[in-house]
Amino acid sequence: MARIVTLKILRAVITLLIAVSLVFFFIRLSGDPALALAPPDAPPAVVEEYRTRLGLDQPLLTQYLRYIGGMFQGDFGYSIHTGRSAQSLFFERLPATLLLGLTALAIALGLGVTLGLIAALRHNSIIDRFVMGFSVFAFAMPNFFFGLLVVLSGALFFGVFFGGSGATRSFGQLLAPAATLGLAAMGSFARFTRSSLLETLNKPFMTALAVRGVPPRRRLLRHAIPNAAIPVVTMLGLSLGGIVAGAVVTEQVFSWPGIGRLLIRSVETRDIAVLQFIVLMVALTMTVTNLLVDLVYVILDPRMRGGQNG
């Protein structure tokens, strides 16, 4: 058991290192960062100054080793534009993105599961078809397009601005971007819940419970739903990636001051240290989530302890 856990942690660390290295080298492959950083008409002296300040005049390997070395000492570099540490800029934005992401996840989970349950219980009815039609729409709708529709409709038809400062000045200013961000995940939750519940309801043990005279309400709440929930919980972990990726676009459309906007800004302005730190943190989030899911599987399922899937 300890060996499996150690191996999985080691694998997570290697994944992170690869992600960080890829970002480090790709930034430097997509054009000279010093040139990209400086304004288009900046004289050579300014470009040279940026190059020296960023250490870009050093050999690539030296830059890389210095970056990795600094990383292990908690030094992730400084924003070339503001002089502030990459961490401070990231953690300053984190609450706004967490608020948006968690609200989106709550909306997706709450509405998605409810709709899925209703569809399963009204199997093959008009409601079922409507819910499934809606879930396909939700899953297929690009969130940048849907976001623009929401923002424009709010302004033109209701005189309300759904874009915003990120401070929850009005419920709509949080709800609109969160619903947009959670839309795709909501569609997935509805479909998974429906199919999982239908499958559970058709299992022999449900028939056995009915024969034993267990009331329908108890059969559903105590037996069917808990069993059907297992794949939905797995989905929850998987949807995290979609939420993180979607936040970049949603924050841009709604002008939400979170990490997604900071990421786009860092790419645009080639703020290397900030960009590298954001990618590292996103990679860390995904890796840790996967690691936890793996570990939970190991704990729950004795068959995983053999190491053949590790």
- What residues make contact with other proteins under the rule CB under 8 A? 30-36, 39-47, 49, 79, 81-84, 148, 151-152, 154-156, 159-163, 165-166, 252-255, 257, 261-262, 264-265, 269-271
CA atoms within 13 A on the CB side of 152: 6
Shorter beta-carbon distance to other proteins: residue 59 or 83: 83
The DSSP result for 226-243, as a single string, is: HHHHHHHHHHHHHHHHHH
Q: In 3D, which of 211, 255, 259 has the Cα closest to residue 101?
A: 259
Shorter beta-carbon distance to other proteins: residue 266 or 290: 266
Shorter beta-carbon distance to other proteins: residue 12 or 34: 34
Shorter beta-carbon distance to other proteins: residue 116 or 166: 166
Q: How far is CA 207 from the centre of its chain?
A: 40
CB of 285 to other proteins, least distance (A): 21
Shorter beta-carbon distance to other proteins: residue 42 or 245: 42
CB of 160 to other proteins, least distance (A): 6
CB of 36 to other proteins, least distance (A): 4
CB of 107 to other proteins, least distance (A): 21
d(CA 60, CA 125): 63
Q: Which residues contact 50 (CB under 8 A, 6 or more apart)?
A: 34, 37, 38, 56, 80
CB of 180 to other proteins, least distance (A): 12
d(CA 92, CA 86): 10
Q: Which residues contact 168 (CB under 8 A, 6 or more apart)?
A: 99, 174
